A and B are shown apart, each in its own frame.
Chain A
Amino acid sequence: MSESGRVLEIIELCVAKFGAARPQIDRFSLTLEAGETVVVLGEAGSGKEALIRVLGGFADKSDIISGALRFGDTELRQAAKRMHATIPVAYLPNPSARPFAPHISVQAQLSRVLARKLGSPLASAREELRLALERLDGAPSFASLDRKPAALDPVTLAWGLLAAACAQTPQLVLADHPFVDLGPNAVRTLLKTLSGEQKRLGFALVYATGELQAAARLGGRVLVIRDGRIVEEGDAARLASGHAHSYTQILFKALPQLSLDPPKARSQARGQPLLQVYGLELTSPPNGRDGLTFALRRGAALALVGEEGSGRRALARAVLGLDRAPAGRVVFDAVDINVLSPIMTSRLRRRVAFITGADDALDPRMTLWDTVNEPLRAHLRLSGELVAGYREAALKRVGLASHDGKRTVASLSAFDKRRLQVARAIVGVPLLAVVDEPLRGLDAFAQTIMREVLSDFRAHEGPAFLVITADFTVAQALADDVMVFQDKKVVERGAILDVLRAPKEAVTQGLIDAVTLPGLSQNPPPV
């Protein structure tokens, strides 16, 4: 560590793509002391990605870079595409960004990186990684990392990457949206661990994110960045207080808010049951004790809340007949789906819509228009004019009307793809919408709009909502009732407000705590 305590100094950094109208980073200056945290908060494309690229020394070939950088107490140097930091710098990537080679075990890859960074033999680096993992509370075992990346869940990969970063005993950690697609409970634990390790090792942290949870939980300075420029700087509590720049206020509108006020009366009249589930068991072999029975009425909304692997998605798949449950019956629109032929099941499913946080839920080859047209053309006999009319109305509702309709899905951003799924659902006029982690991976601004788009969809088309999420704030925004899952069983159920006011199970309390940000959002009263 430097004598002055300074770890990083950035002076007037500019990053631009060749031929681009606007720079990605525009005269960005920053000084970072040892042990200090800077959260760089902004939308996708705000410039935070370019900043991490340059600091990490892996700028694109097409980047045009100017400005000066200083690591530690060394001399100020011109920022360059391939610059090597003079202090130990660890990079903490997002596990969903596929930072691993697919055919080698995660343990071997992380050990190799450590060996290179520490200049030590591979066996020694492996031991360092094992010790680092053991130091982290809640981390998976070292042996569990001895598998290929595809066989491990993103949370385990995130623990591995965090352990590898800490094992480098760095002076600076560059965190590039490291926990962006993980559940709130996992994010809370990982952020707490990262914070603890920072205190223990004393490294400075640059944390690029589009989500607010990290900004609120890590503490330190928050730099709100837009179009490559710092809009505002301060601690999260001040930025969330309302006395902030208008752009900051828009960003912080997406801050998870659990409300204890009674919900507004839904305009949808609740009718007959749409979905009835009798004795459905998700564990195999069935034991006859954990059978799940519930009904979802037309226009009602039920949230299935739980961590990854808790069984909520397995329930949704069983309910839709995509997977056959070990035991139980599912009745959709008064028809038992298990006795239907594949053709009849397919016809029944026409009244079901899917909106998911998976970016590959839409065919990447299709154009924007074709994606919305397909349900209309496949299920109805409509004239071209009518199809175009419904399509335009749906695209307008989700804010995609101004996009070029001939663009392929592959060329759209994650946020646009998510809205396109809603547009496709709108034209299908579904009876049931399965909404699976709809805000996953979106930045704060996009999350706010997505919530509004989904609420509008529910209010106007009136489908029943089956919301799969790990985030109670999402559940509250989109549903009325909740079932909390753990180990493929429902541990708690009821009206969301009742569950929030008086959670009975520790897992429910944990999920509520995961989205309750002390000092920033309204907290449910203590149990």
Chain B
Amino acid sequence: MSAANDTTSAAPVLRAVLRVIGWSGLGLIAVAVALSDFLARAPAGATGIGPMLEAPSAGHPFGTDLLGRDLFSESLHGLSMTFGHALLAALIAIVLGGLFGAVAARLPRYAGLTLRGVAGVLAAIPALLLAILVIGLTTRDFAALAAGLAAAPLAFVRAFDRVDAQGKSTHAEYARATGISAATLLRRDLTYEFRDTLAQASARALAAVAIILSTVSFLGFGATPPARDLGLMIAAAKASYLYAWWTAAFPALALLVLILCARLAAGLDEGERP
């Protein structure tokens, strides 16, 4: 038994600060991506820009790779592609997962629970395997769709559980007792539950799909040359990494910054169920 609860806590303030840092970082990444053609010193995939495997220098701040490509420019183009695909995949995950999950929780009980069960089974499968399965059923060009579909079941389950808990609450019972319809209650949930958590859920989804996209590319199931994404760049650096660390380190750093900013923007929230 606790005598009294300590009502003051630094955690919410710290989380808000982290979110601001994260969103600011994502904003800077978005600006860098939008201006990538101006900021890059060479077009994507341009070879022979410098000597082979030159270490970071004033001329090539990130060094060059085996084909003499400027790694600064390549990392920027790779980040641009990964970020763009991740945004698309996150949107798919939010709509198919979050939005449908919220709506499913307000469907007739048996239908909602059936969908929740299916999503629960899919959420139990590692997202990477799901993404590879979808790519296998389609083509590599659908890597963003695959990543979005792979992240959607977990978002579905989270949204369903949140809205379902609201449906069982006292205020929902009182609302129903005064003739408020299920459609109005769903509107409430979409307005408050979905809208208020949208930014956080988007950032969380962005981090998740960026990892999936990079990993499938790294494994050879995603982007193919001449397209450049960060996973593919890290995979290509496997041959030179042991004696030219910069060939893998800078693309990996760019990926790390993207994921870290997205995680911070989500307030380091893992999306625990209510």
Show the binding face of A for B, using Cβ within 8 Å.
53, 56, 58, 60-62, 91, 93, 99-101, 109-110, 112-113, 320, 322, 346-354, 356, 358, 360-366, 374-375, 378-379, 428, 430
Contact = CB atoms under 8 A, between A and B. Distances in A.
Size bracket, chain B contacts: 20 to 34
A374 B184 contact: yes
B1 interface: yes
Contact of B184 (A100, A353, A378): A378
- Which of A322, A348, A356, A365 gathers the greatest number of chain B CB atoms within 10 Å? A365
A145 to B, nearest CB: 12
Given A352-B178, A374-B184, A361 B1 contact: no
B174 interface: yes
A93 B178 contact: no
A349 B179 contact: yes
A490 to B, nearest CB: 23
B181 interface: yes
Interface of B: 1-4, 6-8, 166, 169-181, 184, 188, 192-193, 196
Contacts of A351: 179
A380 to B, nearest CB: 12
Given A99-B1, A112-B1, A361 B179 contact: no
B108 to A, nearest CB: 11
B171 A101 contact: no
B163 to A, nearest CB: 12
A350 B178 contact: yes
Nearest to A99: B1
A396 B180 CA distance: 24
Given A99-B1, A109-B1, A430-B178, 7 more contacts: A53-B4, A320-B177, A349-B176, A349-B177, A353-B178, A363-B166, A363-B172
B192 A60 contact: no
Given A363-B188, A375-B178, A378-B181, A58 B4 contact: yes
Contacts of A358: 170
B173 A322 contact: yes
Given A352-B177, A365-B192, A93 B3 contact: yes
B170 A361 contact: yes
A486 B67 CA distance: 90
- Which of B7, B173, B175, B178 gathers the greatest number of chain A CB atoms within 10 Å? B178
Contact of B169 (A91, A101, A360): A360
Given A62-B8, A375-B178, A99 B2 contact: yes
Contacts of A366: 188, 192
Contact of A352 (B2, B7, B166, B179): B179
B195 to A, nearest CB: 10
A349 B178 contact: yes
5 contacts: A58-B3, A99-B1, A349-B176, A363-B175, A378-B181
A358 B69 CA distance: 68
Contacts of A364: 171
A408 to B, nearest CB: 9
Contacts of A320: 177
Nearest to A378: B184
Contact of B192 (A347, A360, A363, A428): A363
A110 B2 CA distance: 10
A239 to B, nearest CB: 29
Nearest to B171: A363
Given A349-B179, A360-B171, A61 B184 contact: no
- Which of B1, B180, B188 gathers the greatest number of chain A CB atoms within 10 Å? B1
A47 B196 CA distance: 34
A110 B3 CA distance: 12
A149 to B, nearest CB: 9
Contacts of A53: 4
B171 A361 contact: yes
Contacts of B176: 346, 349
B9 to A, nearest CB: 9
A232 B158 CA distance: 54
B178 A56 contact: no
Contacts of A378: 179-181, 184
Nearest to B180: A378
A361 B171 CA distance: 4
Contacts of A361: 170-171, 174
B274 to A, nearest CB: 13
B171 A379 contact: no
B98 to A, nearest CB: 16
Contacts of B173: 322
B181 A346 contact: yes
A350 B179 contact: yes
B179 A348 contact: yes
B106 to A, nearest CB: 14
A17 to B, nearest CB: 9
Contacts of B4: 53, 56, 58, 93
Contact of A61 (B8, B178, B181): B8
A471 to B, nearest CB: 21
A347 B179 contact: yes
B7 A365 contact: no
Contacts of B1: 99-101, 109-110, 112-113
Contacts of A61: 6, 8
A110 B1 CA distance: 7
Contact of B180 (A93, A360, A374): A374
Contact of A362 (B171, B184, B193): B171
A356 B175 CA distance: 12
B159 to A, nearest CB: 15
A348 B4 CA distance: 45
Nearest to A379: B179
Contacts of A428: 178
User: What are the 3 A-B residue pairs with the smallest beta carbon separation, nearest first?
Assistant: A350-B179, A365-B192, A349-B179
Contacts of A346: 176, 179, 181
Contacts of A362: 171, 174
Nearest to A349: B179
Contacts of A322: 173, 177
A375 B8 CA distance: 36
Contacts of B196: 365
B130 to A, nearest CB: 32
A481 B131 CA distance: 68
Contacts of B169: 360, 363
B13 to A, nearest CB: 12
